[in-house]
Structure 1
Amino acid sequence: MISDPQGSVLAVFLVFCRIGACFMVLPGFSTARVPMQVRLFVAIGISMAATPILWDTVYPKVSGGGASFILLIFTESLIGTVFGLMARIFVLGLQFAGAILTMMIGFNAMTAPDVLEDTAENQMTNMLSFCGLLMLFMMDFHHVVLHAMIDSYSIIPIGHSPNTQQMLITLTDTAAKTYYLMLRLSSPFIIYGLMFNFGIGLINKLAPQIPVYYISTPYLITGGLLLVYWSIGAMVRQFADSFLPIFLGN
């Protein structure tokens, strides 16, 4: 028999605040294609499974209840959101790389519904985002995030005020590292687009009577798609391999 039902429920709920806030923004789980009920029950199930591991850490802080429990709900939700945002910023960077890629190869087709969200996106960016997220799931990135969430209780104990400045620094460092990574992944397409357009500009100066732009566009797209075909495997692989150094490096 449970000796303190109220304290047990409060302990599970407090664990849910940190884990549920992380799942609220975690890539893949927070997508519009996943029903909210599924997201909710997954977060509850993981919280109930993690509570026995964290019992000695969580229960002493909530056994008394009181007004301080409201502050704990806020701080725990903030901590979980930061962990989820770190992974989400990294995945959103692939959309940034896809936007650069499509612009440099001239693949400015009509936008289509996003595979993951309820927004319109270019088909090439859709494909890159989906492939990158699929690779992360194949490499069990969600296990890494959950392991980091469990370990966070020893780094940021319950009841201690989180360092908001350090949280902001962590998020900005993640965004900066992701930005440099995406520039590196899209650099072949940037070089290809600049060289192609520079060459077409020279040809246009030599023969201004010929509408070089309309003639060159199919060659620009064809060459860009061939470059995508040759390099997309390495791009997605480097993207997936960089998750651990960027996420755990902060």
Structure 2
Amino acid sequence: MVLATFVLFCRIGACLMVMPGFSNPRVPVNIRLFLAFAITLALTPLLSGSIEASASEAAPIALMLILVSEIGIGALIGVLGRAFFEALATLTNMIAMAIGLASPLKGPMDESEPSPAVASLVALAATTLFFLTDLHWEVLRGLVASYAALPVSAYFNPQFSLIQVSECLSKSFLIALRISSPFVIYSLIVNLAIALAAKLTPQIPVYFISMPAVVAGGLFLLYVACKQFLEQFLAAFSTWLATG
């Protein structure tokens, strides 16, 4: 039973150390460790039956391969979930540049480096909604279901993992580009208008004069589109959690 619990902890702990929300650097490492251990103990009665036989009968080398494989599978699940939030962070940095707010850097929400204020705000909102909409329970449900799709005896498959990562990156960046498309269009229109005005009146520093209006328009667009922005992102992320 102890060995089966440790095997479960390898997958669950590796997943939670990478999964968004749970792996936030603002949460102390010991809290994350105890949380992963508590979740493992809660799921052990449900999952240990099929693992005890494989773990107890395995030779020492085979047992080490099982542990490494479980860590790899758990990290893969966490990386797939994190891909959505990384895509969102990338596109929100682009949004900050599009509306002229890329310069003021704020403390990071989910990373170790400073980011624009808009990116930190959207990351904070997405992480908060991740817990408020109970998607963290979907993560645990997915972990339980992963033992049926990827049993302990199947081992870690690098080719399968690369395919899953590439597909998840494609989906996540596609949804992130879709929800940030209004800001891309806004940036193109505003910069084209400023360029034409600068050509027509070269004596006036149009770019510097127009910056407050560009920022105000971008903030108003963010205010109008923020609700749909986050709803579409969470809908795509919850769909992946339910079916991925």
TM-score between the two structures when normalised by the length of structure 1: 0.93
User: Identity over the aligned pairs, expressed in percent?
Assistant: 35
* In 2: Cα distance, 1:64 partner to 1:108 partner: 57
Is 2:90 the partner of 1:96? yes
Q: Deviations over 1:203-224 (max 9, x none)?
A: 1111111111111111111110
Q: Quote the RMSD (CA, aligned, Å).
A: 1.3
| TM-superposition CA deviations, 1:47-71 (whole Å, max 9, x none) | 1111111122111012235311111
Partner in structure 2 of residue 238 of structure 1 = 232
Map of 1:229 onto structure 2: 223
Cα distance in 2 for residues equivalent to 1:54 and 1:143: 17
Alignment of 1:28-177 (within 5 A): 28-64=21-57, 66-67=59-60, 68-177=62-171
Q: Which has the higher helix share?
A: 2
* 2:89–2:123 CA contact under 8 A, matched in 1: yes
Q: For 2:152, what is the secondary structure of its paired residue?
A: coil
| Change beyond 3 A, Cα 1:152–1:108 | closer
CA deviations over 1:56-109 (Å, ceiling 9, x no partner): 211101223531111110001111111111111111111112111111111123
8 Å contact 2:15–2:74 — kept in the other structure? yes
- 1:99-129 Cα shifts (integer Å, max 9, x gaps): 1111111112321211233321111100001
Deviates more, 1:215-224 or 1:105-114: 105-114
Q: Cα distance, 1:199 vs. partner? A: 1.0
Which is worse superposed, 140-149 or 107-116?
107-116
Instruction: Give the C-alpha shift of residue 248 in structure 1.
Output: 4.1
TM-score by length of 2: 0.95
1:176-204 Cα deviation digits (max 9, x unpaired): 11111111111101101110111111111
Question: SS at 1:33's partner residue?
Answer: coil
What stretches of structure 1 move > 4 A for 4+ residues in a row?
Answer: none
Give the unaligned 5+ runs of structure 2.
Answer: none
* Alpha carbons 2:138, 2:241 under 8 Å: kept: no
Moved more, 41-50 or 55-64: 55-64
- Residues in 2 aligned to 1:157 and 1:246: alpha-carbon distance in whole angstroms: 20
Alignment partner of 1:51: what SS?
helix
| C-alpha displacement of 1:229 | 1.0
